[in-house]
Structure 1
């Protein structure tokens, strides 16, 4: 491997420095809409839920994740990661999507969906937390 100073490399390569990289700025609604779109790409996909979120101590709850969950779907998206989604944990999702732990619980917890939940059902739940005034249309019950 040949080592060259950065000044030489700029003349032969298109180098991007962190300040050159444009980070997309997405509103809360755009973030949730993107997540919904990703989930709806494979509506029949079975997603793992997080096991009994409400019974975990806060630190454990915020660190919860599961391979093949709705959070994995979100985190696998380059746009959401570039916009600031740090991981596929419960806590990072709550922060990134700017939702309450209660709302995240409704979307992700095993007590609301069983061990597995279809992606289209998960998308419907995300739509419900995105538009609480339409909650009853998505879930058939009032909040």
Structure 2
């Protein structure tokens, strides 16, 4: 495979340094995360410690290698859809999860030091399939 500098490529091809993010719904992003977890080369992933006790700024910046969030960030489709890094805060923003939801997926207090990628895949799929219940949610869905 030949490698070229960006200036060399510009002389032989139209090169764009800007890229429009891939448009994915929340459900599609969560489904893709579940698929990434299923394909993870590591069957067990690290958890993050005490996410619920961290000050907000520290919690948002939490990250580690070989976590469920780093598996998502390693997926090129999720990066193309706009996932910017593998921090707790970015996963919360990108997957549109509450602190409570993300805490239930990645915190040490639920699984110990490691969690099965397969277990997390099932949990993420449940979140993707979740439809709020109750009278007002049904009204909102009906009247859109």
Indicate whether the TM-score tops 0.5.
yes
Alignment of 1:1-143 (within 5 A): 10=10, 12-19=11-18, 21-42=19-40, 45-133=43-131
Q: Supply the distance in 2 between the matched residues of 1:9 and 1:44 (Cα, whole angstroms).
A: 37
Q: Supply the distance in 2 between the matched residues of 1:133 and 1:56 (Cα, whole angstroms).
A: 29
Specify whether residues 122 and 34 from structure 1 end up closer, same or farther in structure 2 by C-alpha distance, changes over 3 A only. same
* TM-score under structure 1 length normalisation: 0.79
Shift of 1:42: 3.6
User: What runs of 5+ residues in structure 2 fail to find an aligned partner?
Assistant: 1-6, 133-144
Shift of 1:73: 0.4
* TM-score under structure 2 length normalisation: 0.79
SS of match in other structure, 1:37: helix
Q: Supply the distance in 1 between the matched residues of 2:112 and 2:53 (Cα, whole angstroms).
A: 15
Aligned residues: 126
SS of match in other structure, 2:115: strand
Shift of 1:113: 1.1
User: What runs of 5+ residues in structure 1 fail to find an aligned partner?
Assistant: 1-5, 135-143
Shift of 1:43: 7.9
> Moved runs in structure 1, 4+ residues, more than 4 A?
none
